[in-house]
Amino acid sequence: MASTDADADAVAVELLPFIRVYVSGRVERLLGTDTVAASLDEPTGVASKDVTVDPATNLSVRLYLPPAVAAGERLPILVYFHGGGFMVESATSPTYHRYLNALASRARVVAVSVEYRLAPEHPLPAAYADSGAALARPVAAAAAPGAVDPEPWLAAHGDASRVFIAGDSAGANIAHNVAMRAAAAPLPGGAGITGVLLMHPYFWDASNTMGPALEDRISREWRFMCGSPDVRVDDPRLSPTVQQGAPSLAALPCRRVMVAVAGDDFLAGKGRAYHAALVASRWHGEAELVDTPGEDHVFHLTRPGTAAAAKMMDLVVDFVTR
Q: Along the 322 residues of the chain, how does pLDDT read in single tens digits?
A: 445 566 778 999 999 999 999 999 999 999 999 999 999 999 999 999 999 999 999 999 999 999 999 999 999 999 999 999 999 999 999 999 999 999 999 999 999 999 999 999 999 999 999 999 999 877 776 666 665 567 889 989 999 889 999 999 999 999 999 999 998 887 776 678 999 999 999 999 988 888 888 889 999 999 999 999 999 999 999 999 987 777 899 999 999 999 999 999 999 999 999 999 999 999 999 999 999 999 999 999 999 999 999 999 999 999 999 8
Alpha carbon separation from 173 to 38, 102, 259, 321 (Å, rounded): 26, 23, 11, 23
Starting at the edge strand found earlier in the chain, the sheet holding 256-262 runs 47-54, 59-65, 110-115, 75-81, 158-168, 193-199, 256-262, 286-292
Catalytic residue, chosen from 97, 200, 275, 297, is 297
Cβ neighbour number for residue 317 with a 10 Å cutoff: 17
Strands 75-81 and 110-115: parallel
β-sheet with 19-22: strand ranges across: 11-15, 19-22, 27-29
Q: Is 265 a catalytic residue?
A: yes
84: exposed, middle or buried (C-beta count within 10 Å: 0-12, 13-18, 19+)?
A: buried
Per the annotation, the verdict on 297 as an active-site residue is yes
Q: What per-residue confidence (pLDDT) applies to 211?
A: 83
By three-state DSSP, how is residue 31 classified?
coil
Which pLDDT belongs to residue 209?
A: 80
Residue-level pLDDT at 299: 98
Cα 270 from Cα 252, distance rounded (Å): 18
User: pLDDT value at position 254?
Assistant: 94
* Candidates 169, 200, 205, 300; catalytic one: 169
Active site residue 130: no
| Active-site hit among 48, 93, 265, 275 | 265
Contacts of range 274-278, beta carbons closer than 8 Å, 24 or more positions apart = 274/176, 274/198, 274/201, 274/203, 274/205, 274/240, 274/241, 277/205, 277/240, 277/241, 277/249, 278/249, 278/252
Cite the DSSP H helix spans in the chain.
5-8, 94-107, 126-143, 152-157, 170-184, 212-226, 268-280, 299-302, 307-321
